[in-house]
Amino acid sequence: MTLLRLDPDRALPADPSLRPLARRLYKTTCDLPLICMHGHVDVATLAEDRPFANPAELLVMPDHYVTRMLASQGVGLDQLGLTRRDGRPRHDGGAVETDPRAVWRLFCNGWRLFRGTPSRYWLEQELVEILGVDLRPSAETADEIYDAIAAKLAEADFQPRRLLDRFRIELLATTDSASCDLADHHRLRSEGFGDRVVPTFRPDALVHLTTSDWVNQVRRLGASADIETDSYDGYLDALRRQRETFVAAGALASDHGHLAVDTTLLPHATAAAIFRDARAGKVDVASANAFAGHMLHVMAEMSCDDGLVMQVHPGVLRDYDSDVHRTFGSDNGFDIPVAIEFTRALRPVLDRFGHDPRLRLVLFTVDESTYSRELAPLAGAYPAVKLGAPWWYLDSPDGMRRFRELVTETAGFYNTSGFVDDTRAFLSIPARHDLARRIDAGYLARLVAEHRLEEDEAVETAIDLAYRIPLDSYRRPHVPLEP
Amino acid sequence: MTLLRLDPDRALPADPSLRPLARRLYKTTCDLPLICMHGHVDVATLAEDRPFANPAELLVMPDHYVTRMLASQGVGLDQLGLTRRDGRPRHDGGAVETDPRAVWRLFCNGWRLFRGTPSRYWLEQELVEILGVDLRPSAETADEIYDAIAAKLAEADFQPRRLLDRFRIELLATTDSASCDLADHHRLRSEGFGDRVVPTFRPDALVHLTTSDWVNQVRRLGASADIETDSYDGYLDALRRQRETFVAAGALASDHGHLAVDTTLLPHATAAAIFRDARAGKVDVASANAFAGHMLHVMAEMSCDDGLVMQVHPGVLRDYDSDVHRTFGSDNGFDIPVAIEFTRALRPVLDRFGHDPRLRLVLFTVDESTYSRELAPLAGAYPAVKLGAPWWYLDSPDGMRRFRELVTETAGFYNTSGFVDDTRAFLSIPARHDLARRIDAGYLARLVAEHRLEEDEAVETAIDLAYRIPLDSYRRPHVPLEP
Amino acid sequence: MTLLRLDPDRALPADPSLRPLARRLYKTTCDLPLICMHGHVDVATLAEDRPFANPAELLVMPDHYVTRMLASQGVGLDQLGLTRRDGRPRHDGGAVETDPRAVWRLFCNGWRLFRGTPSRYWLEQELVEILGVDLRPSAETADEIYDAIAAKLAEADFQPRRLLDRFRIELLATTDSASCDLADHHRLRSEGFGDRVVPTFRPDALVHLTTSDWVNQVRRLGASADIETDSYDGYLDALRRQRETFVAAGALASDHGHLAVDTTLLPHATAAAIFRDARAGKVDVASANAFAGHMLHVMAEMSCDDGLVMQVHPGVLRDYDSDVHRTFGSDNGFDIPVAIEFTRALRPVLDRFGHDPRLRLVLFTVDESTYSRELAPLAGAYPAVKLGAPWWYLDSPDGMRRFRELVTETAGFYNTSGFVDDTRAFLSIPARHDLARRIDAGYLARLVAEHRLEEDEAVETAIDLAYRIPLDSYRRPHVPLEP
């Protein structure tokens, strides 16, 4: 049985002319509070503040990075305990796995699959730093580690709200369906967490007309906003009202997942007609796409009014695998990127609001070819545009390094958004922020060592990237840091 | 005259914090047998086992990496001794060069053109290690080197089968036209090489309807399979039969060169009608493309039945230069890549067989933008998909390093296929494998030095990448390595 | 107040195993003359040889890299003194800034925005080496630096022609409208600068039919060439005549900015008809695009006759921001790249002239995904093609490093064009060339340290890249360098 260790210099550059410098820079940011402007932690976790159930439900099942990798080697999602919606037997004839220890064993047995991945990096830090595990996961050690974690989870210190303190999370934005009633957020606010845990307005299910649940979602929107949504005008009014409700609940941003980022505005009558057709269940794909692009533009208009920062996450074919989607539902790791175009697609919105101080557009991509070609030039020219942190498949050591290398020379540091952890795995938040700070320290160290930046500037930039820039990007006022 | 030297640390990272570590890792793999799952060595070379003719025919003329680079600086392919099919005089009015020494002089004179290229790297190793040359090629040294090599080639040790041992090639897959009779492979098998040299089923000439030779190829297929191929059904039967013949001859894989990787299945009647039109010489480009995509899907079906691993090599405009193609034929270095799309194109096959243990799809690309955007996410999710090694223009020191950096964080190591040497130049095989092992050692050393991986894990991974993974990817059983 | 310093090792690799080697290589090129084959310095600057007006007009206002970055943080272009064409008041209600000191203060105040950008790198070198400034720009130091520079600019040594000597510029090519009369160039020639400052033929305004000024430009062409341009044939004759005039004035090259690089030749009658329609003001976008592609092919034909090297700069959506374009005119940093395709688009011209020694095509890109996918394979195969240096957003330390890493392994060094400074900022020329030489030294040092190249070869290559290759690429005869 091999020991699990965390080296204090992990993810810093190995080059001896860079490492001591990177270490000094990292030391200036490692203890700063965490600003989590975009994540997918379920708000109920914090509202209910219940202890975590067991190691598998904490670390394996909700993390599609982990389940996807195991699936890629032939482990069935049902073997990992993911709920089937169809009641069919497992592919090997058995029942869906309900024993969390069995799920945990599969995970530990597959530990070598994660070599070189950020999941491995995050999990290692979670196991050692948060859970006190010092054994490398394997078939042999699975049970011992399971028991150790289970014991930890029973401690009072491990309730979610306590972890919020322990993790030094100053601000956590969750992602919330635009049609929801924000009950959990209201509860958190009433219990004193209103400035610390805020919602994010996500209207995807309301603007993509061909999603199966659309009619129902529009009805829910109407109910939440208390506005009739049978007509396009009512739908717009309800969206506006619901945005106000989110703002009142502390929301700083909206979040938009689109396949493309077309922002062509349709004539009002055309949009209304497409809406009507969709209500009647007879919308075609082209009209649905045009409507989605139109609504992205409309959301920019609304943002100019209510100040919500727009986050755009495009370029991913969601629910790519028909069978996985049908059987297990969305967000199971089978969303696959496609090439994406920003320059032409964003022109309608940028031509209207690109210099408007009321609009703030944070652009994310999983297509790295757009970093230097489109996103850095746009963020480096338009005050309304910020370049979002490396997202999803790219929030990894080398992915984040490439991001800085590909965008900084055109966009600088101050047109980027700051780090976004984008995780469903609550325990991974500190490791993700810590890793980003290490990678930025390494990049800045190189600039200093190559005499392209002075060390005092690098220190200021490192702190800005870790703390001030994310707050500024999302227009959250902040008090000056202690020196 | 300058000496040619091979440094034992070549292609390992220069960084002093990485090199000793990389050297240790490389030492664990450098003597492992070579697994050559995809190459273009002419099987006749081994079946006939004749000595190589001369330095030019060995190192220059069959290597389109070399002839292309010389051509890019204005050297005519006819000056390099490549056979013209049109009988026209050379562009400078002379006859096609027939003196191999003259070809060799042109090559040595152009030595500086290869600076920084993998050809330079491979050739240097071939010259020093295999051919005992210790002079740097140049106009001045050309003749001396020519004579030294010519003398070596006359030695009995230089016959191809002897080199198979000397190179420690455990398994060599050639690429063979799907319609061929495998006579050379049968001969090799009867002479005890059946487990060591195996064919690969390449049906390109049979599925691309607009290639000039298609009708003839389909007739050859019929003759080889002894099945009437006038109808689409007969054609499918003959393909199936011929695949069985390949499997019986030891084939582990099929190989598919397509411009796009569309895998949309056509209705049987539609496919049959296009086939009929093609037989009548009246197929249009759109139908031919649809048929090629359809056949890729059909091949996946057949693979599920007979177990051949599908290798897909898309995204290259073959025979780009009309004049070179007309004059010298295919495969002369004038195939130029284009952007390629995998995500949408592969969906039809992945939706049916992506989780099916019978299918194995190895995907190659020369469009690096697809590494992190499409291929790593697909290979990191689907058990049926393996990400092929950097191919063609990209099997170079920096190309292979970028590959690991761009794919590992999403796909890990165990969803990649292992190294593929993809060469027509028999003598370059050891250098190519050696280089891949050095680059992997350098990449793994960085992970260890950055404390993202422990050294014992890196050792295991290095050995897996060099030996176990290529065998596993192509489902070749292997015995455990000695420790 | 912090001191501004220039480290002698700046932009060389930090790795201790590379830096001493890189320093040695850099030392062999740092004093070589500058060959400036493509730039945008206004020829009037040199023809009139007037002193520079003030720090803002010298360093801020003509440099869209600088104004763009300030604009990205909400500084209005009118606040930076850029002339409005519409007479509207400033966005904050004031008048367009006319005080250069106020502009300078905005620039100094925004100094931190440039961290990590090449602008910062170039400006630092200009301030220290050319202008003798040793204070870091900031709100506090702005006035002191302004005064110091203003005093320098008044010295006789700072007149443009004196700087030509001081900068060791051996050859400077300006960019000139194809319809212009070359009066400034004639004056320079008559005053002994004819071999040193040469024009470049830029016909963009004449071949893009939908630009607002097209009809007028064609008329100017006719006037300059003294040929009637009412008909397509007259237009072609005038272009030919005007090219001859440029060649007589020393021009070595033409320059072509196109959105795409389609080179499909139209039938003569079709082209003539589109030309006629354009004259009548009724051309559509598709016809205009077809005409632009046709004219790129026609220009290749003309190049075969008169020897002008064709430079192609595609893939940028010019004047992307409607309001900035309307208000301030072109070239204000709001040109945004789009994805570009070379392989298919260039086939018509390469099929005719790809092996023709009369044609020389230098291809530039701002889409890095094309480096290894299309441009290196094309440049590595066709004698007519050279791969242009990293352009615009990419002529930066990491951008130039990536260029070498992505293209050398396929195209080698000798199929690249040599460095192009592409600047409007006269004072930045030495810093830009110096930076390119440092980056090439660093790249070559790595090849040597990884034993992929011998040091004597690296020295020769470094000198070739800095001096011989740019001259050869543009077919300028050169005498051998002193050893």
8 Å CB contact between C379 and C361: no
Q: Does B354 sit within 8 Å of A9, measured CB to CB?
A: no
Least confident of A259-263, B362-366, C147-151, C421-425: C421-425
Q: Does B320 sit within 8 Å of C453, measured CB to CB?
A: no
Residues in CB range of C5: below 8 A, 6 or more apart: C128, C134
Q: For B268-297, what is the mean pLDDT?
A: 97
Q: Which residues pair with C36 in a beta bridge?
A: C172
The predicted-structure confidence for A400-423, as pLDDT tens digits, reads as follows 999 999 999 999 999 999 899 988
Q: Residue A479: its pLDDT value, please?
A: 67
Q: Does B15 sit within 8 Å of C377, measured CB to CB?
A: no
Q: Does A12 sit within 8 Å of B17, measured CB to CB?
A: no
Least confident of B325-329, C131-135, C352-356: B325-329
The predicted-structure confidence for B96-144, as pLDDT tens digits, reads as follows 898 999 999 999 999 999 999 999 999 999 999 999 999 999 999 999 9
Q: Per CATH, which fold does A160-473 belong to?
A: TIM Barrel (3.20.20)
Task: Say what percent of chain A tops pLDDT 90.
Answer: 89
Nearest chain C Cα distance for residue A125, angstroms:
29
Q: Residue B481: its pLDDT value, please?
A: 60
The predicted-structure confidence for B306-328, as pLDDT tens digits, reads as follows 999 999 999 999 999 999 998 88
Residue whose C-alpha is closest to residue C348's, from C299, C386, C308, C305? C299
Q: What helix, strand, coil percent values describe chain A, rounded to 5?
A: 50, 5, 40
8 Å CB contact between B400 and B371: no
CA-based end-to-end distance of chain B: 45
Where residue A480 falls among pLDDT bands split at 50, 70, 90?
low
Q: Which residue of C has its CA nearest to B326?
A: C351
Nearest chain B Cα distance for residue A37, angstroms:
24
pLDDT at B293 over 70: yes
Q: Residue A127: its pLDDT value, please?
A: 98
Q: Residue C330: its pLDDT value, please?
A: 81
Provide the Cα torsion B268, B270, B273, B279; round to 10°: -80
Enumerate helices (H) and strands (E) in chain C, giving the number of each: 22, 11
Q: Does B411 sit within 8 Å of A336, measured CB to CB?
A: no
Q: Which residue of B has its CA nearest to A326?
A: B351
Q: Are strands A197-198 and A176-177 parallel, antiparallel or unpaired?
A: unpaired
CATH number of A51-157: 1.10.2020.10
Nearest chain A Cα distance for residue B38, angstroms:
23
8 Å CB contact between B332 and B77: yes
pLDDT at A118 over 60: yes
Tell me the pTM.
0.97
Q: For A78-103, what is the mean pLDDT?
A: 83
Q: Does A9 sit within 8 Å of B415, measured CB to CB?
A: no
Query: Which chain C residues have a beta carbon less than 8 Å from that of A452?
Result: 10-11, 116, 120-121, 397
How far apart are alpha carbons B280 and B215 in whole angstroms?
9
Give the closest of A114, A369, A402 to B412, CB-based: A114
Could you state, in order of their start, the residue ranges of all structural domains in chain C? 51-156, 160-473
The predicted-structure confidence for B196-245, as pLDDT tens digits, reads as follows 999 999 999 999 999 889 999 999 999 999 999 999 999 999 999 999 99
For the purposes of burial, counting CB atoms within 10 Å of the CB of B186, is it exposed (0-12), middle (13-18) or buried (19 or more)? Answer: middle
Residue C388 half-sphere exposure, CB side, CA atoms within 13 Å? 28
Q: For C372-378, what is the mean pLDDT?
A: 98
Q: Residue C479: its pLDDT value, please?
A: 67
Residue whose C-alpha is closest to residue C112's, from A258, B294, A468? A468
The predicted-structure confidence for B140-160, as pLDDT tens digits, reads as follows 999 999 999 999 999 988 999
pLDDT at A88 over 60: yes
Q: For C448-462, what is the mean pLDDT?
A: 98
Query: E-assigned strands of B76-212?
Result: 169-173, 176-177, 197-198, 201-202
Question: C90, C395, C398: best mutation site toward chain A, by most A Cβ within 10 Å?
Answer: C398
How far apart are alpha carbons C409 and B141 in whole angstroms?
25
Q: For B82-89, what is the mean pLDDT?
A: 77
Query: Which chain C residues have a beta carbon less than 8 Å from that of B398?
Result: 405-406, 408-409
Pick B329 or C35 by higher pLDDT: C35
pLDDT at B483 over 60: no
Number of C-beta neighbours around residue A273 at 10 A: 15
pLDDT at B482 over 60: no
Query: E-assigned strands of B103-150?
Result: none
Query: Which chain B residues have a beta carbon less than 8 Å from that of A13?
Result: 450
Task: Say what percent of chain B tops pLDDT 70.
Answer: 98
The predicted-structure confidence for A175-225, as pLDDT tens digits, reads as follows 999 999 999 999 999 999 999 999 999 999 999 999 889 999 999 999 999
The predicted-structure confidence for C67-126, as pLDDT tens digits, reads as follows 999 999 999 999 999 988 777 767 667 788 989 999 999 999 999 999 999 999 999 999
Q: Which residue of B has its CA nearest to C354?
A: B321
Q: Which residue of B has its CA nearest to A435?
A: B452
Give the closest of A6, A19, A322 to B351, CB-based: A322
Chains with 3 or more CB pairs closer than 8 angstroms to C? A, B
């195993």: which residue's tokens?
A: C17
Q: Residue C419: its pLDDT value, please?
A: 92
Give the closest of C373, C411, C460 to B337, CB-based: C373
Q: Which residue of B has its CA nearest to C15?
A: B15
Residues in CB range of B328: below 8 A, 6 or more apart: B77, B82, B83, B84, B85
How far apart are alpha carbons C60 and C28 in whole angstroms?
33
Encoded tokens for C46: 């040199």
8 Å CB contact between A465 and A413: yes
Q: Per CATH, which fold does C51-156 belong to?
A: uronate isomerase, domain 2, chain A (1.10.2020)
Reading phi first (left if > 0) and then psi (alpha if -120 to 50, else beta), residue A315 is in left
1.10.2020.10, 3.30.930.10, 1.10.357.10, 2.60.120.620: which CATH number matches B52-158? 1.10.2020.10
Q: For A73-78, what is the mean pLDDT?
A: 94
Q: Residue A483: its pLDDT value, please?
A: 46
Task: With both helix axes pointing from N to C terminus, report the angle between B285-306 and B232-248 in degrees, rounded to the nearest 10.
Answer: 40
Q: Residue A478: its pLDDT value, please?
A: 75
Task: Specify the 3-state DSSP secondary structure of B60.
Answer: helix
How far apart are alpha carbons B377 and A338 in whole angstroms?
10
8 Å CB contact between B179 and B217: yes
Query: Which chain B residues have a beta carbon less than 8 Å from that of C373?
Result: 337-339, 366-369
Residues in CB range of A103: below 8 A, 6 or more apart: A56, A60, A61, A79, A80, A81, A97
Q: For C328-339, what is the mean pLDDT?
A: 87
Q: Does C113 sit within 8 Å of A451, measured CB to CB?
A: no
pLDDT at A482 over 60: no
8 Å CB contact between C442 and C11: yes
Task: Specify the 3-state DSSP secondary structure of B336.
Answer: strand
Number of C-beta neighbours around residue B12 at 10 A: 25
Least confident of C138-142, C274-278, C418-422, C461-465: C418-422
CATH topology match: C51-156 vs C160-473:
no
